[in-house]
């Protein structure tokens, strides 16, 4: 199963971008043998998509037909890392070709994205800057793959 993070905004060179690239690289290496790769990032340029409606259009356009969509939302479901790993494993085992995680802009997601999403997922009750949300999601994807592969990376 392919995993895609589609996010509004572009990460500038710096520590956040380096962390995202590192976690995606780790996830790709660990996920190959478990049918959980490639893991990729699509960035939507905010200058070309202003406002929630335009950003939502661009995010949905980045999603492949038939993809499972999960939108990150502060009001979404909180999951433990093992629960998230089980969810990804279950989707893979059901034959889902791609799961796409959507990170909206400063105003969040439109109702169109909420309606298309199979799950609204929260990274906790606090609101996080979008650049950190990408890092946290990339790390959780790598952690989920590690859990599914019985790697010592995740120690519960």
Cα separation of 48 and 55, whole Å? 9
pLDDT score of 106: 81
Cα separation of 120 and 111, whole Å? 12
- SS3 (DSSP) at 155: coil
pLDDT, one tens digit per residue, over 104-142 is: 988 889 899 999 999 999 999 888 888 999 999 999 999
Is-contact 8 49, C-beta < 8 A?
yes
CA angle, residues 84, 90, 91, in degrees to nearest 5: 95
Cα separation of 72 and 123, whole Å? 8
pLDDT, one tens digit per residue, over 69-81 is: 999 998 899 999 9
If one compares 76 and 51, the residue with the highest pLDDT of the two is 76
Cα separation of 77 and 54, whole Å? 25
Residue 109 to residues 14, 19, 63, 115: CA-CA distances in angstroms? 26, 25, 15, 10
Residue 67: pLDDT band (50, 70, 90) is: very high
């Amino acid at each position: 199963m392919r995993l895609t993070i589609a996010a509004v905004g572009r990460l500038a060179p710096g520590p956040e971008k380096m962390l995202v690239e590192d976690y995606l690289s780790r996830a790709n290496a660990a996920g190959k043998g478990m049918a959980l790769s490639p893991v990729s990032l699509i960035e939507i340029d905010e200058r070309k998509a202003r406002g929630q409606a335009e950003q939502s259009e661009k995010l949905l356009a980045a999603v492949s037909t038939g993809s499972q969509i999960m939108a990150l939302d502060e009001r979404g479901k909180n999951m433990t890392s093992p629960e998230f790993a089980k969810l990804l494993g279950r989707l893979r085992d059901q034959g889902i070709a791609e799961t796409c995680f959507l990170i909206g802009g400063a105003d969040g997601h439109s109702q169109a994205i909420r309606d298309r999403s199979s799950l609204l997922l929260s990274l906790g009750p606090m609101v996080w800057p979008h650049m950190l949300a990408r890092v946290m999601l990339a790390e959780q994807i790598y952690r989920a793959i590690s859990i599914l592969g019985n790697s010592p990376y995740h120690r519960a």
